[in-house]
Amino acid sequence: MGELKLMKGNEAVAEAAIRAGCDGYFGYPITPQSEVMEYLMAEKPFERTGMVVLQAESEVAAINMLYGGAGTGKMVMTSSSSPGISLMQEGISYMAGAELPALIVNIVRGGPGLGTIQPSQADYFQAVKGGGHGDYKLLVLAPASVQEMCDHVKLGFDKAYQYRTPVMILSDGAIGQMMEKVVLFDQIPRRTDEEVIAQCPWASNGRPQTRNHNIITSLDLDPAGQERVNLKLQAKYKLMEQHEVLYEEIQCEDAEYLFVAFGLSARICQKAIDLARAKGIKVGLFRPITLFPFPVTEVSNVGNRVKGILVVEMNAGQMIEDVKLSVGCKVKIEHFGRFGGIIPSPDEVVRALEQKIIGG
Amino acid sequence: MTEEIIIAGFGGQGVLSMGKILAYSGVMQNKEVSWMPSYGPEMRGGTANVTVIISDERISSPILNSYDTAIILNQQSMDKFEKTVKPGGLLIYDPNGLTRFPERKDINIYSIEAADEAARQGLSKIFNMVVLGGFLKLKPLVAPEYIHKGLEKSLPARHHALIPENEKAIEIGKSLLKAVHLVQ
A40 with A163, same domain: the answer is yes
- Please count the residue pairs, one from chain A and one from chain B, whose beta carbons lie less than 8 angstroms apart: 72
CA distance B131 to B107: 19
Q: Is position A178 within any domain?
A: yes
Q: Decide if pLDDT at B70 tops 70.
A: yes
pLDDT at B12: 85
Domain span holding position A58: 3-195
In this complex, which of A6, A264, A274 lies closest to B27 when CB atoms are compared? A6
Q: Decide if pLDDT at B40 tops 70.
A: no
pLDDT at A345: 93
A162 with A41, same domain: the answer is yes
CA distance to partner chain B, nearest, from residue A83 (Å) = 16
A149 with A258, same domain: the answer is no
Q: What angle do the packed helices B163-174 and B127-138 form, to 10 degrees?
A: 50
CA distance B78 to B88: 17
Kindly list the residues from chain B whose CB atom is less than 8 angstroms away from the CB atom of residue A273.
Answer: 60
CA distance to partner chain B, nearest, from residue A210 (Å) = 54
A272 with A171, same domain: the answer is no
Kindly list the residues from chain B whose CB atom is less than 8 angstroms away from the CB atom of residue A270.
Answer: 60-61
A253 with A336, same domain: the answer is yes
Q: Which residues fall within 8 angstroms of residue A347, CB to CB, at 6 or more apart?
A: A272, A275, B65
Structural domain count of chain A: 2
A30 with A147, same domain: the answer is yes
Q: Is position A190 within any domain?
A: yes
Kindly list the residues from chain B whose CB atom is less than 8 angstroms away from the CB atom of residue A118.
Answer: 40-41
In this complex, which of A4, A118, A268 lies closest to B61 when CB atoms are compared? A268
A60 with A179, same domain: the answer is yes
Sorting pLDDT into bands at 50, 70 and 90, what band is B42? low
Using a CB–CB cutoff of 8 Å, tell me whether A346 touches chain B.
yes
A163 with A21, same domain: the answer is yes
pLDDT digits (tens, 9 = 90+) for B151-164: 999 999 999 999 99
Whether the Cβ atoms of residue A260 and residue A337 lie closer than 8 Å to each other: no
Using a CB–CB cutoff of 8 Å, tell me whether A174 touches chain B.
yes
CA distance to partner chain B, nearest, from residue A182 (Å) = 10
Q: Is position A46 within any domain?
A: yes
Q: Is position A140 within any domain?
A: yes
The helix (H) or strand (E) run that includes residue B53 is strand B47-55
Using a CB–CB cutoff of 8 Å, tell me whether A343 touches chain B.
yes
pLDDT at B45: 60
CA distance to partner chain B, nearest, from residue A128 (Å) = 25
Whether the Cβ atoms of residue A328 and residue A337 lie closer than 8 Å to each other: no
The helix (H) or strand (E) run that includes residue B114 is helix B114-120
Using a CB–CB cutoff of 8 Å, tell me whether A147 touches chain B.
no
Sorting pLDDT into bands at 50, 70 and 90, what band is B47? confident
pLDDT at A272: 97
Contact A180 B41 (CB under 8 A): no
pLDDT tens for chain A, 360 residues: list them.
689 999 999 999 999 999 999 999 999 999 999 999 999 999 999 999 999 999 999 999 999 999 999 999 999 999 999 999 999 999 999 999 999 999 999 999 999 999 999 999 999 999 999 899 999 999 999 999 999 999 999 999 999 999 999 999 999 999 999 999 999 999 999 999 999 999 999 999 999 999 999 999 999 999 999 999 999 999 999 999 999 999 999 999 999 999 999 999 999 999 999 999 999 999 999 999 999 999 999 999 999 999 999 999 999 999 999 999 999 999 999 999 999 999 999 999 999 999 999 987
Q: Where does residue B14 fall: left (phi above 0), alpha (psi -120 to 50 degrees), or beta otherwise?
A: left
Using a CB–CB cutoff of 8 Å, tell me whether A32 touches chain B.
yes
Domain's final residue, options A195, A216, A232: A195
Q: Decide if pLDDT at B39 tops 90.
A: no
A140 with A273, same domain: the answer is no
State how beta strands A179-184 and A3-8 pair: antiparallel
Kindly list the residues from chain B whose CB atom is less than 8 angstroms away from the CB atom of residue A338.
Answer: none
CA distance B54 to A6: 13
Q: Is position A180 within any domain?
A: yes
Q: Is position A136 within any domain?
A: yes
Contact A31 B40 (CB under 8 A): yes
CA distance to partner chain A, nearest, from residue B18 (Å) = 13
Q: Say whether A74 sits in a helix, a strand or coil.
A: coil
Contact B39 A177 (CB under 8 A): yes
Using a CB–CB cutoff of 8 Å, tell me whether A81 touches chain B.
no
Domain at A74, CATH number:
3.40.50.970
What average pLDDT is seen over chain B? 93
Q: Say whether B47 sits in a helix, a strand or coil.
A: strand
A175 with A324, same domain: the answer is no
Closest C-alpha among B37, B35, B29 to residue B9: B37
Q: Which residues fall within 8 angstroms of residue B146, CB to CB, at 6 or more apart?
A: B25, B26, B28, B29
Residue A289 sits at φ, ψ, to 5 deg, of: -100, -40
A257 with A347, same domain: the answer is yes
Q: Is position A235 within any domain?
A: no
Contact A271 B153 (CB under 8 A): no
pLDDT at A2: 85
**Domains in chain B and their CATH numbers?**
2-181 (3.40.920.10)
Contact B61 A267 (CB under 8 A): yes
Q: Is position A238 within any domain?
A: no
A173 with A278, same domain: the answer is no
Using a CB–CB cutoff of 8 Å, tell me whether A6 touches chain B.
yes
ipTM: 0.91
Using a CB–CB cutoff of 8 Å, tell me whether A143 touches chain B.
no
